[in-house]
Each structure stands twice: as C-alpha cells, then as structure tokens.
Amino acid sequence: MKSVLVIGIGRFGYHLIDQLNKAGDEIMAVDSSEERINPVLGMVTSSLIGDATDENFIKSLGVSNFDVCFVAIGDKFQSSLETTSLLKENGAKYVVARASRSVQEKFLLRNGADSVVFPERQLAEWSAIRYCSATVIDYLEYPGDYSIFEVKVPKAWIGKSLVDLGIRNKLHLNILSIRRDGNPILEFPADMVFMEGDTVTVFGADKDLKKHLDLNY
C-alpha cells in the first residue's frame, strides 16, 4: 500500500483515483473546485480544496510524506508546471505530471517532474496496436523502449521449441507465458513445442519485438 497525492480531479484524475482506490492505496485528492472533489470523496482517504500554485498551500500538504505525487491538471499547463516545481522544491519524493503535448514534457522534466504521462496519446497508441493488428491480443508499454505483447504464436514458430528458436540467445526475447486451449501455462520446459492456436506473452526490446513478431507499430 502506498501513500499517494493526486492534484487535479478531471477525467484523468478521477479514473486514476478509482484505480488507486481499488489497489488499496491511501489517497489525498486536491483540487481548486469543490464540485470536482465531491465525486471522489468515497474513494479517498482525505481531500482538500485549494490552489496548488500557492506555495503555502503546497507546504501545508506535507508532500514529502507521499510515496508518489500526481499532477493531473489537464487544462492549464502553466498551473501544472508551477505545481510540479513547488512539489519538488518542497520535498516530494516522486512526481508524475500529465502532459498533452511533447513540448510540455521538456518543461515538466526540467521543473521537477520525475516522469511524464500522456493519457490521451498513450490510450490512442494502445488502442491502435490492440485493435488494428491481426495478431496482437494485448499490449503493455514498458519504460525504456521495451514492451510486453500477448500475440498469436507466429507461424514460423509452430512445431518448434524455445531451444530450436533460440528465443533468448538469438531472438533476444523472453516468453512470460503460453496460453493453449484457453489455459495459461506459466511454467514450461525449454523443449516445449509451439502448436497452432497457441498465444504467447512476450517481453523484449521494441526493435526485437517488431523484427521477430512482425509487428507494425
């Protein structure tokens, strides 16, 4: 269980709090509007109405006590930038800031953000990959140009084992699980032969995934 501060309760902030609450985290919600705070009251440990660009208000939050601070302000970039900077100046351990454009990422990172997320862009990318590929079943982007894909087993792999294919040594991929007849197989020998209809969950560098799984993304 983590202690999390979420500043800005728009659509992204609301859904973020919903997921954090389901995970059992302790959450403080902050927004300048009582109207936006009200819908999350049943999901958070505490809440405050205030101006996150006011240094005295930020100081009153005790931001150093939170494991993660999210700046989820979506409509006013200047406010997001000032809030991010104030959080870091006042001892925030880890600040995640929302951005809508790539140029905003630069400024947020320079002003204290440890990480920047693009909710709309990332959802669009996931949707395009997930629903517009004949082989992809699910997809998770991983930091540092790595990803996890669940895909239909490539035709070239059918009838061959991990050893035959050299999954790790030659292809530089890691098979996390195999699904056969709808049943997940989490522990499998290296000489297990892939069959038509199998799906595999694969972790690796994007360049290797694209090359060996015939992915276009």
pLDDT tens digits, one per residue of 57-116: 999 999 999 999 999 997 788 999 999 999 999 999 999 999 888 888 889 999 999 999
Q: Are residues 129 and 193 in the same domain?
A: yes
Structural domain of 55: 3-117
* Buried residues in 190-203 as b, exposed as e (16+ CB within 10 A): eebebeeebbbbbe
Instruction: State which of 99, 117, 135 marks the end of a domain.
Output: 117
| 80 Cβ contact list (under 8 Å, min separation 6) | 8, 71, 73, 74, 97, 98, 99, 104, 108
123 versus 32: which is more confidently predicted?
Answer: 32
Q: Rounded to 5 degrees, what are φ and ψ at 57? A: -65, -45
Each residue of 7-33: pLDDT tens digit?
Answer: 999 888 998 999 899 989 999 999 999
Residue 134 DSSP one-character state? S
- Answer yes or no: is pLDDT of 131 > 70: no
Instruction: State which of 117, 133, 149 marks the end of a domain.
Output: 117
Q: Are residues 107 and 172 in the same domain?
A: no
Q: Are residues 61 and 38 in the same domain?
A: yes
The domain total for the chain is: 2
pLDDT band per the 50, 70, 90 thresholds, residue 123: low
pLDDT of 117 reads 87
Instruction: State which of 117, 148, 181 marks the end of a domain.
Output: 117
Distance CA 76, CA 168 (A): 46
Mean pLDDT of the chain: 89
Q: Are residues 97 and 173 in the same domain?
A: no
Distance CA 90, CA 55 (A): 9
Q: Kindly state the percentage of the chain with pLDDT values over 70.
A: 92
